Chain A
């Protein structure tokens, strides 16, 4: 059983994201064999040219979407942390959508049940395709490490130069 520390999810870096939506197109291609961002499990948001990011499921611990479902249609895999939708049980009521702080679970335009990132069986296509390498398939621990390394590099630029 993977703990939240070991669960890899798709993380977007707003410093690198340029808002091109390539992730949306490749996601709908991979899962639905068509080009249609409204069927993408990851969605890009551009608030203005400087603020761009793409958002997908973050595999929360004790996922609020699962807790919110009145029909037990959602389940979180103990193995991977993925949210699994039972399409027979889901009636599209949207409690899970309200419960998700990130807008990562959505109502499918055709099936009318909810759908969410499945990490492409461990090899997310969006991460592979992102032209800016703004998407990472990673764990929260690794993200924290990266942030620490980045800030230390920034703070100790001079010292770093001296050691080279």
Chain B
């Protein structure tokens, strides 16, 4: 079966390592990926631990399909910890080559605790585990770490997951980068690694990965390969996700200048079409994938000539339209800098956009920016600001490195009105004023603002609902999306491939059983999705971040109506409608009005052991209003 059956524990403080078996019941209940990762996090952490404390574990976890030739899932891993951005549960996934290697080394999960005295990297060479001095790698970018480690250990096929300077500097939006340009991007996992003085995890795995039904499995993969040549993956194989630019722009859902306008006059020049014609040099793929989607761009001329980066919609939007920037050369340079320092490109762009907004409002001045003219649209200033955040240079760089929620507090002067985050995690590139199912979906997402926790923007963009309002019924849409995405992220299927599972749960359950030999019904898998969401919610509650006041949208979404002329003019989210949506969502989830899972719900999902965590909260029917990010 395709689970490795082993969990590795590493204590960076003592250098001790041990392994424990993965129990089949645990595997079946939590699948792998974020589900298994969050369960292991719960079992291996204490409430109220500071994200940067040595006792905050960081967990690298593979999925049941990692290491097999499952197209788009054979190459994946996830990282789970407590987020230095939200203070709640954090998870992020990445594909490429690293995840498969970790599984082949023989581990379903690696739980890393403690803090090394000096900068080290963890070298997992099948059964041999070592901490190796990494002081000579300090300050180096992730892709150089990979080359350096391969050279010093003498094997080209070693795979590396590493942090850059941002992670070392405890920049709260720091990412972990593997295979040059794939990222554990969101929720600040790079900073947690940095807090442990852990520069990288390097892996060589030579063990076999076997599946339960080899013939059936290979046949299934063949079918997925064929489907991947079809319409379900067209977008990712052709223009790539930057196709979204003109699509969202046309329906006034492309947030522009820090969520001021909902469309961008420079959209053509940062469109997927423009990008592919002038900048994309090659489209490459991750291990085992028959689809390939990594659009590698190169700047052909100008001040950033020669810069190469993988370009996707989200980072392009965040550093482009969201900063009022219509120059793709600067956007590609900024994406490269995000990968160089090891930072979440979405959060970075949204934070720079926030700073630009503050500058335009007079809240920040040239004195604060060290002379940088931080107007919207100033492409060079945007790039410089990215570097300052990554290196924590200057007063503003240091402040913005704390993320928009904490930066707004430090800046003061009403800056919080311009900070676009949910629970402390910055918004991705969908205008929530004109995509209001997404507003609800993003607000309730357990890791903070995220389009990939439920895909709630999809019914809005596809015209399946009235996207300018929130009404009863949206709760169910969001919940269904969440539960499915929890399964996808626990099997760690690539979300770009989600369309090839024509039968959705039935296909996924078949994939799972062919690989693991563990029988499961689509209903059981669906319940696992719901279980994982409840687990995440309880973890947030345990950390004091799980109640209603945290499931909110940022002030600009409520208070700044869309100014663009035309059909979207005046659109914004009203608190009244939002509350209807939130009530509806909590109701379909079987949670209280305060967003707390009931004892019955937890029992129904086989999470009895979590009851004590929620019981205290449930005792208080009315929780006092605490300081949330968007309560007013």
Contacts and interface: CB of A to CB of B under 8 A. Distances in A.
Contact of A131 (B68, B156, B225): B225
Contacts of B181: 49
A129 interface: yes
Nearest to A46: B284
Interface in B283-331: 283-292, 294, 296, 308, 310
A35 B67 contact: yes
Interface string B198-218: 000000001111110010001
B292 A25 contact: no
Given A29-B214, A49-B284, A20 B289 contact: yes
B103 to A, nearest CB: 9
A71 B102 CA distance: 37
A34 B205 CA distance: 14
Contacts of A39: 208
Interface string A15-52: 00011111001100100111111110000011011101
B209 A131 contact: no
Contacts of B69: 22, 25-26, 29, 35
Contacts of A122: none
Contacts of B68: 25, 35
Main secondary structure on chain B at its contact with chain A?
loop
Contacts of B225: 129, 131
Contacts, number: 82
Interface in B150-179: 156-157
A131 B291 CA distance: 7
Nearest to A49: B296
Contacts of B209: 34-36
Interface residues of B, number: 39
B292 A20 contact: yes
A22 B214 contact: no
A2 to B, nearest CB: 31
Contacts of A19: 284-285
Given A18-B292, A49-B308, A131-B291, A36 B208 contact: yes
Interface residues of A, number: 26
A36 B207 contact: yes
Nearest to B295: A49
B213 to A, nearest CB: 12
A36 B204 CA distance: 12
Interface string A49-70: 1101000000000000000000
A25 B208 contact: no
Nearest to A33: B214
B285 A20 contact: yes
Interface string B126-160: 00000000000000000000000000000011000
Given A29-B218, A49-B310, A129-B225, A18 B283 contact: yes
B296 A20 contact: no
A31 B284 CA distance: 27
Contacts of B97: 21
Contacts of A37: 157
A40 to B, nearest CB: 11
A33 B214 CA distance: 8
Nearest to B210: A34
B285 A18 contact: yes
B214 A18 contact: no
Contacts of B206: 36, 38, 109
B282 A49 contact: yes
B74 interface: yes
Contact of A21 (B180, B208, B281, B287): B287
Given A25-B69, A34-B208, A35-B68, A49 B180 contact: yes
B191 interface: no
Contacts of B282: 18, 49-50
Contacts of B284: 18-20, 46, 49, 52
Interface string B50-71: 0000000000000000011101
Nearest to B290: A131
A132 interface: yes
Contacts of A49: 180-181, 282, 284, 294, 296, 308, 310
The listed residue with most A CB atoms (<10 A of its CB), out of B156, B218, B225, B286, is B218
A102 B310 CA distance: 30
A79 to B, nearest CB: 30
B228 interface: yes
B281 A50 contact: yes
B218 A21 contact: no
B104 interface: yes
A49 B289 CA distance: 15
24 contacts: A18-B282, A18-B285, A20-B284, A20-B285, A20-B288, A22-B69, A22-B288, A22-B289, A22-B290, A25-B69, A25-B74, A34-B209, A35-B68, A35-B208, A36-B104, A36-B209, A38-B206, A48-B180, A49-B284, A49-B310, A129-B222, A129-B225, A131-B289, A131-B290
Q: Which 4 A-B pairs have the closest CB atoms?
A: A131-B290, A25-B69, A34-B208, A20-B285
Interface of A: 18-22, 25-26, 29, 32-39, 45-46, 48-50, 52, 109, 129, 131-132
Given A49-B282, A49-B294, A132-B292, 7 more contacts: A18-B285, A21-B287, A22-B69, A25-B69, A25-B288, A45-B156, A131-B225
